[in-house]
Structure 1
C-alpha cells in the first residue's frame, strides 16, 4: 500500500489524519461535515461511545468466526461499504477501487446512484454490489434504471428515504462547494446533474427542489410500487422512527438501515445508535436491521450487533482510505476492521456475530 509518508495506519482514525493532509480543504469539509450546527454529526459518535457491552467469560472462544449472512448471502463479516457519491472526487480510481476492495474483503459494496463511474463498471469488479437509489421525478426513468441495475448484476436495491431535499451543509455553503466539471453522475439518465456543479452562493448543491432530478415527494405508495416491480431484495435506508421501520416492512422491505445520513440531513435528530434498539424491537424477526452513521472500528460493530443489528455500513473511513492510497489502502482499512472485530468478539466471549447479538449492553457514563 503506497500512502503518504509516515507510520502505517493501525486504525481507521489514522486514515482520517492522512486524508486531511492530502485532500484540498473544501473537499475535506465536504466529506467530513454535517448539516446545520453539526449537532447530530457529533451525537453519532457520542452515542456509540456510551454503549457498554457486557462481555461473557469462560466461553472457551479463542478464534471467533466473522462470517455472517445478509439478505440471504454469506459475507466475510457483518460490514458493508456505505453508498457515497462521487468517489472520484477523492481518488481517480473512484468507485471501482472501493468495490474491488470490498470484493477482496468479501463484503457488500453499496453503489450510489450519484456514483462517478457507471454501475456496469462497478459490478465488473466482481464485487457483490447493492445499488442505492434516490427517487427520480419521472417514474418511467426509475423503471429504466431498475432494468439497468438488474442487468448489471446488482444483488439488492437500497432506497434512501431521508433526502426529500439536501440538508443545509454550512461548510459547503461557506466554501461555495461545487464538483469539478469532469465529475458527472454516471448513473443518472443523461449523466448530468447541473446543480452539483453550480456552486451558487448560499445554496447547497442539489438543494433546490424544482431544479433537482430527484422527487422530494417520495411516499409509501411509491415504495410499494417499487417493491412490486423489483425482484431484488429491497432495503430501506434512512429510518429512525420505529413506526417507519414497521411500515417499510409492510411495504416489502427485507432490511432497513437505521441511519441519519451521517449527520448530513436534518440536524438535531437522534443518533442512529440511540434509535437502533427501538427499531429492532419494533420489527422483530420480520426483516434485517443494519446500522450506519458513526461506525469507526470493530468495537462499534460489536456494539451494533449487541444492540440487535445484523450488520453495519461504513462510510467516511472508506473514503479516507481511498483518498490516501486507492484500492490497496481501502483493502487495508477493511482488513484492520476485520482484525478489530475479531479481537472484540474474542474479548466479549463470542464465537461469531450471532452470539454477539445475544450480548447485553449497558450505558457507559
Structure 2
C-alpha cells in the first residue's frame, strides 16, 4: 500500500489536495480533501486491464461549477427535505431550497463543498484516509455543533469501506451518504443500461412530482423495480410504470433493504466482467441512474455528459425521514453517536 498526494488548486485561499491510494493488486483510488470527493477509482477487468470506473473531473474548478455531487460525501442530510423545513422538539427549522421547493443534500454549501481535515494511515494490507470536519451550529440551518469523521479504508482485497461517525452538542438530524457515480464498463466507454443490478429489496418509496417520498411503500413485485433476482438497468427507462416516468425515465428511488443477506446489492457488467458488491448497515439505498445528467462539460477529461452514464448507490436512512415519523429516525441527540458502514467489493467474473 502506498499513499501519495499533490495540490490540485485553491478555494477561498485554502489549498485543495488530491490523495491517491494504490494497492498491491493495481486498485487505485484518488480523492480530494474537498468534499471527501472520490475522483478516480481504477480496478482491473476480466483481462486484467486497469480502467477508471467512476465519474469525475480533472480540476477543482469543474467540481465547483458543474458537479452533480460526483464522488462526494453529502449531508448533513442526504437527499431531499420537503420544503426545506422540519420541526424538532417544537422548534421550526428552515433551510435553503436548493432543489426547486425542496432542500437537497445539505444545502447550498453542504459537506460536499467544504474542505475536510485529512490524516493518512498505512498498515500491512490496508490504507486509511481519515477525514474530520467540525460543522458549526446553524450551518446551512441545521442545529448543533456536529463533529464528523469519515474514514475511507482501502484493502488489498480490492475493497473500499466507508464509515461515518458523528456526535453533537445539541439535538439535531444527521444522515450521510456517498454520491459516487459508478460505470463498470471502464473509462465510461458505454452507458450503464446493460449493467445487471441486484438489490435485496421487496419495497421502494413512492415519490411525488417533486421526487419527495409520499410516505407510501410500494411493492416491487411485477414491476421494473424488482431487482431481487437481478435485471438490466435498461428496464427502468423502457418501463411505463408511472414512478419510472416521473423520475425522468429511470430510477431516483429509495429501496428499503430487507437486511436478510449480504451483500445487499450487486452490480455486474458483462462487457468488462467487473462486478461490485455492496454490504451496509443502512436500512435503504437510493438508486439513481443519472437520468438528469446533462450539460456542456466533459467528464474524466474527454467524456461528454449524457443520461444513464452511471449509477449511484446511496446507502442511507430514508430521505425526508424527519417529516415521516414512521421512517427510521435521523435524529441524533447529545451523548449519542451516529455510525454508518458500507463496504464496496470489486471483483471480476
TM-score for the superposition, normalised by structure 1: 0.26
- Higher-strand-fraction structure: 2
TM-score for the superposition, normalised by structure 2: 0.27
- Higher-helix-fraction structure: 1
Relative contact order, higher structure (CA 8 A, sep 6+): 1
